[in-house]
């Protein structure tokens, strides 16, 4: 039987891995994947809190492949561990079924475990979230493979027959726990539900023991995370500070001493417990040692801290390691859990700031740890009246988003703010809890669960709109209350390849599978609490804010709970089989039940999910990254922000050695001193960037915000402003702390026009003239450190290197310099030139560069093939970024009387990105109007009318029922309506040719206003 189980496991692994290999992209995808590939290829630290074991493992594998294969091989590594997870889920289900059915007939024992195991395994394999995770480079499949293996080991331990075997399994478990911290720290939480199996074997699972076991598991989780992992790093840091500052040792001596202390401790402890025959203590010490051996992968980021790479995080000492593992860069450690303040809490009017701990940072120039912040008035102290138990509405910058997700009117509190009594509406606990249910539980956790086991509307990023990313069942009578009647949906939403409806079938099977465990308390409680730990538990711990999904969907963090739900789907066969035992023979009953569950579960999921999980020909992210680099002149400095506009470019440079002369600056990371310092060095073939700011101005630990204290109305010359920042006597007392401040809101950079004329752009060719300075207005209450650093980079390099800004639909990284930008392909180049006269279009486009670039250089293949699945990000970037480039080029060509070239640009745009694959929206409409200017009225009519129809169809759909999240959907409907009105007013053809005449529109507007009044919650 064991041999047959192993053969089945091997066949299952090969089959699932083959499916993943077929589905996987041969290149990079968006989000973190390019970063991980680059980090794995060059063995570098990834973003906090890191995944060093994963990085080292992948780096070893990638040594055997060329750079051109790195992306595909990295994707296959995810597929390998995905298939391994599926295989171990088969083993887990097999084991549980065997124990549940141990007293049944030989026939049942022989066949039931295989059928339940295969059903569970294949359900997970073809669940939407796990399938995607298994075909792109990420840490998640390895982390869930470790999770599955640890669950399996604990199940084997629970049924081990002797102490020696049990002790070996526990030591292996301890090692895997340690290794898992070097993959994803959240896996430590597995110890909470697994404590139930330990309790069951040792003491039995009474209600009292169950509660005590869970409490002990929670305490053990926090002990491991806070006192062992963070505590050891903290002690090493304290030792290092003392040794370096007192005994003048080199940096990281404290780590070596700490390692020596740990080695001595384990050596003495193991020897003592062995000689005294204290075997329980001996095994506990051994388990802790095995755990720390696993955790030791976190030494890698320190060893590789000097890697000369744009991707690498500079974790040069234990001080930085502590911040890294706590995720301080993302503010993880400051998220409130049980008690905190509401988003609109004012400062305490008696004591607005409290002292904190001093912040020390290693100064490479002094070779000492220096105090960069003495802690005085460091921490904000909010008014106690605005504290709240279980705070969910806590983030000030998300105030408007909170009010969209749930109705918040608050209770009035009169409070003195700056000597004036103000009425502030504090959210009530009920409103706080409603947000927890409406957004954190329903929209995030449950929606993702329902995606995988009930059905998914599409793979669009879900922001609460009825049109994007909702769960659906496929049963119109149930779905229409949330997403509208199926018949009212625009066709391109109904035919979306990522629309997969399972009619509740896998979900119902999962619930039935859970019920099949009710009589087997250890399995019921263990699986239930693993499910809750990796579902609701994660939700409670990370306390997500609405802006968390403005970036991307977060379903991957809940895959641990999907693994358990898949297990339950397979176990549903047991309940069906045992319930129907009086109807037919055991053999027929087993065959019929298994076929029904397999078809309703994994086979249905495979069949419906096949088309939208085929990424093998998706090269968009790769081509997108290349397009940015190709648009840059030689030795350019390219300013980007956001993962998708940065990581693909870094991958191309770091792995494929492509256009390494371009220095890519991520605007968001210019807050980090390690990234700023790296700019001063040669990277690839990119020369060092000149920066005049001194290290003390941006060293780790200093304030990241510079307040405005306006002193002059004229423009501050940036070279003088930076001298002002270097002078410590120019600091002011700001809330009890000495801080640099910004004395002006207008800025200027003096320009040497002679030097600029040698820099590749000729003003006369652009029908413009050079200016003696770059002068602009950029008012803010606070200026970020990254903004000051970027101003410094621009000031010191504008004469010597081209400075470009990535066109990405955002404007934060422009610093308000849009009046001095020349459109240069996918980037806009900073230049001290402006147009001659008011009659000319102020938008300057470098048509000499852009025309061959657009027509010959850009290669975006397959986006016009409606047989292929096109991911959401690809479609959005075409609509918002690529079509915009074609628009501005065609417009500029028409202004230059180059009509034939303009028509060719328009034709190519609509050939590459037709409406059948990427719906026409605003920029398509604007492009259609250019056909009119070029004299092609029929083409213009067709495109403009199609764009208007797309918007109209969406508007009619959304307003056809009373939607959930009314504030979000009413706001979106208003946006669509205003867009449609504007298009209607600007329509260059005959209004009578549109699908909606004036009478029809007026009738709609009346109904729309009533709909709006009925649904608007404020």
DSSP symbols for 454-507: TEES-SS--SS-TTSS-B--S-HHHHHHHH--GGGS-HHHHT-TT-EE-TTHHH
The answer to whether residue 776 sits within a structural domain is yes
Task: Copy the structure tokens of residue 520.
Answer: 């087997």
Q: Are 91 and 120 in contact (CB under 8 A)?
A: no
Radius of gyration of the chain (CA): 31
Q: How confident is the model at residue 759 (pLDDT cuts 50, 70, 90)?
A: confident
778 and 695, same domain (yes or no):
yes
Q: Are 274 and 259 in contact (CB under 8 A)?
A: no
813 and 885, same domain (yes or no):
no
788 and 927, same domain (yes or no):
no
983 and 923, same domain (yes or no):
yes
The answer to whether residue 641 sits within a structural domain is yes
Give the tens place of pLDDT for each residue, 827-841: 999 999 988 777 778
Q: Are 294 and 175 in contact (CB under 8 A)?
A: yes
Closest C-alpha to 515, from 502, 533, 527: 527
Q: Tell me what the pLDDT averaged over the chain comes to.
A: 93
The side-by-side arrangement of strands in the sheet containing 746-750 is 716-717, 746-750, 773-777
Report the range out of 279-283, 415-419, 451-455 with the highest average pLDDT.
Answer: 451-455
741 and 831, same domain (yes or no):
yes
Give the tens place of pLDDT for each residue, 947-960: 999 999 999 999 99
**Looking at residues 300-309, what average pLDDT do you find?**
87
The answer to whether residue 783 sits within a structural domain is yes
Closest C-alpha to 659, from 641, 633, 681: 633
Name the residue with tokens 């509406």. 425
| Residue 783: strand pairing partners | 706
Q: Which of 383, 403, 430 is the last residue of a domain?
A: 430
822 and 956, same domain (yes or no):
no
The answer to whether residue 377 sits within a structural domain is yes
**Looking at residues 336-352, what average pLDDT do you find?**
93
Closest C-alpha to 149, from 84, 217, 66, 214: 84
Residue 959: strand, helix, or coil = coil
The answer to whether residue 71 sits within a structural domain is no
Give the tens place of pLDDT for each residue, 688-701: 999 999 998 999 88
Task: Copy the structure tokens of residue 526.
Answer: 């263990």
820 and 925, same domain (yes or no):
no
The Cα 245–Cα 938 span in angstroms is 78
Tell me the backbone φ, ψ of residue 857, rounded to 5 degrees.
Answer: -85, -45
Within the chain, what is the greatest distance between any pair of CA atoms?
Answer: 97
Helix 140-158 with 559-579: angle, nearest 10 deg: 50
The answer to whether residue 91 sits within a structural domain is no
677 and 771, same domain (yes or no):
yes
The Cα 333–Cα 806 span in angstroms is 32
Give the tens place of pLDDT for each residue, 483-509: 999 999 999 999 999 999 999 999 999
pLDDT higher than threshold 70 for residue 718: yes
pLDDT higher than threshold 90 for residue 912: yes
- Is the sign of the CA dihedral 619, 624, 626, 630 positive or negative? positive
Tell me the backbone φ, ψ of residue 701, rounded to 5 degrees.
Answer: 110, -15
Half-sphere exposure in the Cβ direction for 490 (13 Å, CA): 23
The pLDDT value recorded for residue 550 is: 67
The Cα 30–Cα 649 span in angstroms is 11
The pLDDT value recorded for residue 404 is: 94
Q: How confident is the model at residue 930 (pLDDT cuts 50, 70, 90)?
A: very high
The pLDDT value recorded for residue 762 is: 82
DSSP-derived letter for residue 974 is H
* Number of other residues whose CB lies within 10 A of the CB of residue 166: 17
Q: How confident is the model at residue 727 (pLDDT cuts 50, 70, 90)?
A: confident
The Cα 447–Cα 441 span in angstroms is 8
Task: Copy the structure tokens of residue 96.
Answer: 């549980």
Q: Are 915 and 866 in contact (CB under 8 A)?
A: no
The pLDDT value recorded for residue 127 is: 97
Q: Please, is 784 exposed, middle or buried when counting C-beta atoms within 10 Å of its C-beta (0-12, 13-18, 19+)?
A: middle
Measured between alpha carbons, how far is residue 579 from residues 1, 131, 243, 592 in Å? 26, 33, 70, 13
Please state the domain count of the chain.
Answer: 3
Q: Are 814 and 735 in contact (CB under 8 A)?
A: no
Q: How far does CA 296 lie from the centroid of its chain?
A: 26
pLDDT higher than threshold 90 for residue 994: no
The answer to whether residue 142 sits within a structural domain is no
**Looking at residues 409-420, what average pLDDT do you find?**
92
| Residue 686: strand pairing partners | 683
Q: Which of 366, 398, 430 is the last residue of a domain?
A: 430
b vs e for 914-953, b when ≥16 Cβ sit within 10 Å of the residue's Cβ?
A: bbebbbbbbbbbbbbbbbbebebeebbbbbbbbbbbbbbb
DSSP-derived pairing of the beta strands 746-750 and 716-717: parallel
Give the domain range for residue 372. 329-430
Q: Which of 381, 401, 430 is the last residue of a domain?
A: 430
887 and 934, same domain (yes or no):
yes
The answer to whether residue 675 sits within a structural domain is yes
Q: How confident is the model at residue 1 (pLDDT cuts 50, 70, 90)?
A: low
The pLDDT value recorded for residue 835 is: 83
b vs e for 454-477, b when ≥16 Cβ sit within 10 Å of the residue's Cβ?
A: bbbbbbbbbbbbbbbbbbbbbeee
652 and 781, same domain (yes or no):
yes
The pLDDT value recorded for residue 569 is: 97
DSSP-derived letter for residue 687 is P
774 and 913, same domain (yes or no):
no
Q: Are 453 and 440 in contact (CB under 8 A)?
A: no
823 and 890, same domain (yes or no):
no
């Amino acid at each position: 039987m064991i041999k047959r189980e192993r053969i089945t496991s091997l066949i299952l692994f090969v089959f699932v891995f083959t499916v993943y290999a077929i589905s996987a992209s041969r290149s990079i995808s968006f989000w973190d994947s390019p970063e991980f590939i680059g980090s794995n290829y060059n063995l570098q630290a990834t973003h906090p809190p890191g995944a060093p074991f994963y990085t080292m493992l992948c780096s070893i594998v990638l040594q055997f492949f060329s750079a051109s294969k790195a992306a595909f091989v990295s994707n296959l590594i995810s597929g390998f561990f995905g298939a391994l997870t599926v295989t171990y889920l088969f083993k887990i289900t097999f084991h549980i079924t065997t124990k549940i059915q141990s007293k049944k007939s030989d026939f049942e024992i022989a066949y039931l475990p295989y059928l339940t195991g295969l059903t569970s395994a294949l359900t997970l394999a073809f669940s939407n979230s796990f399938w995607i995770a298994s075909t792109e480079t990420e840490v998640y499949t390895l982390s869930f493979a470790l999770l599955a293996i640890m669950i399996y080991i604990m199940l084997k331990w629970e049924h081990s027959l002797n102490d020696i075997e049990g002790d070996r399994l526990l030591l292996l478990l301890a090692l895997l726990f340690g290794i898992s911290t070097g993959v994803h720290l959240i896996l430590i939480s597995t110890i909470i539900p697994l404590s139930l199996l330990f309790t069951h074997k040792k003491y039995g699972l009474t209600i009292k023991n169950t509660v005590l076991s869970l409490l002990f598991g929670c305490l053990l989780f926090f002990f491991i995370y806070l006192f062992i992992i963070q505590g050891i790093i903290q002690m090493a840091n304290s030792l290092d500070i003392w040794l370096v500052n007192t005994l003048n040792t080199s940096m990281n001596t404290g780590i070596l001493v700490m390692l020596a202390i740990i080695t001595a401790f384990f050596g003495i402890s193991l020897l003592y417990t062995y000689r005294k025959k204290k075997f329980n203590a001996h095994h506990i010490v051994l388990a802790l040692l095995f755990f720390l051996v696993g955790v030791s992968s976190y030494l890698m980021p320190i060893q590789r801290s000097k890697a000369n790479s744009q991707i690498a995080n500079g974790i040069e000492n234990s001080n930085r390691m502590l911040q890294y593992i706590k995720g301080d860069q993302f503010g993880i450690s400051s998220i409130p859990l049980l008690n905190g303040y509401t988003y609109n809490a004012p400062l305490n009017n008696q004591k607005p700031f409290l002292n904190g701990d001093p912040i020390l940072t290693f100064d490479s120039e002094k070779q000492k740890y220096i105090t960069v912040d003495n802690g005085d008035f460091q921490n904000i102290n909010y008014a106690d009246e605005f504290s709240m138990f279980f705070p969910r509405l806590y983030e000030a910058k998300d105030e408007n988003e909170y009010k969209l997700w749930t109705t918040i009117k608050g209770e009035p509190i009169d409070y003195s703010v700056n000597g004036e009594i103000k009425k502030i509406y504090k959210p009530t606990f009920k409103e706080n809890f409603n947000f927890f249910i409406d957004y954190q539980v329903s929209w995030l956790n449950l929606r993702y669960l329902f995606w995988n086991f009930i059905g998914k509307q599409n793979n669009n990023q879900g922001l609460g709109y009825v049109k994007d990313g909702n769960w659906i069942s496929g049963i119109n009578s149930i779905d229409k209350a949330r997403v509208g009647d199926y018949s009212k949906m625009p066709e391109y939403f109904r035919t979306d390849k990522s629309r997969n409806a399972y009619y509740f079938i896998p979900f119902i099977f999962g619930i039935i599978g859970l019920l099949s465990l009710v009589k087997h308390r250890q399995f019921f409680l263990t699986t239930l609490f693993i499910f809750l730990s990796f579902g609701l538990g994660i939700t409670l711990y990370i306390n997500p804010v609405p802006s968390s999904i403005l970036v991307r969907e977060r379903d991957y963090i809940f895959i641990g709970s999907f693994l358990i739900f898949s297990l339950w789907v397979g176990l549903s066969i047991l309940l069906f089989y045992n319930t129907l035992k009086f109807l037919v023979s055991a053999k027929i009953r087993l065959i019929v039940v298994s076929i029904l569950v397999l078809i309703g579960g994994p086979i249905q999921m495979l069949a419906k999910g096949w088309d939208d999980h085929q990424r093998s020909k998706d090269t968009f992210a790769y081509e997108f990254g290349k397009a940015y680099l190709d648009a840059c002149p030689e030795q350019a400095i390219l300013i980007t922000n956001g993962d998708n506009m940065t990581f693909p470019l870094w991958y191309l440079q770091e792995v494929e050695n492509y256009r390494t002369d371009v220095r890519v600056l991520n605007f968001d990371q210019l807050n980090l001193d390690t990234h700023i310092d790296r700019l001063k060095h040669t990277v690839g073939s990119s020369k060092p960037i000149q920066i005049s700011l001194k290290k003390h101005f941006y060293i780790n630990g200093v304030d990241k915000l510079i307040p405005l204290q306006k002193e002059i109305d004229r423009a501050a010359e940036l070279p003088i402003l930076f001298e002002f920042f270097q002078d410590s006597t120019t600091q002011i007392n700001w809330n009890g702390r000495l801080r640099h401040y910004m004395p002006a809101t207008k800025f200027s950079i003096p320009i040497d026009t002679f030097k600029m004329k040698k820099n590749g752009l000729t003003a006369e060719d652009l029908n413009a003239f050079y200016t003696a300075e770059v002068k602009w207005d950029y008012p803010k209450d606070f200026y970020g450190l990254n903004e000051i650093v970027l101003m410094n980079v621009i000031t010191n390099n504008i004469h010597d290197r081209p400075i470009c800004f990535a066109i990405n639909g955002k404007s934060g990284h422009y610093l308000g310099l849009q009046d001095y930008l020349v459109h240069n392909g996918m980037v806009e180049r900073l230049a001290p030139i402006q147009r001659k006269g008011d009659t000319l279009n102020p938008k300057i486009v470098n048509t000499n560069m852009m025309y061959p670039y657009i027509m010959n250089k850009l290669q975006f293949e397959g986006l016009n093939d409606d047989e292929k699945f096109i991911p959401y990000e690809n479609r959005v970037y075409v609509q918002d970024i690529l079509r915009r480039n074609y628009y501005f080029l065609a417009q500029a060509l028409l202004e230059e009387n180059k009509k034939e070239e303009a028509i060719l640009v328009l034709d190519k745009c609509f050939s590459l990105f037709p409406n059948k694959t990427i719906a026409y929206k605003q920029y398509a409409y604007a492009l259609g109007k250019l056909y009119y200017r070029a004299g092609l009225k029929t083409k213009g009519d067709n495109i403009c009318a199609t764009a208007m129809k797309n918007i109209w169809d969406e508007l009619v759909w959304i307003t056809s029922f009373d939607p959930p999240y009314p504030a979000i959907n009413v706001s979106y409907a208003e946006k669509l309506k205003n867009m449609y009105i504007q298009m209607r007013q600007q329509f260059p053809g005959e209004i009578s040719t549109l699908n909606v005449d004036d009478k029809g529109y007026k009738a709609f507007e009346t109904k729309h206003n009533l709909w709006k009044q009925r649904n608007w919650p404020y």
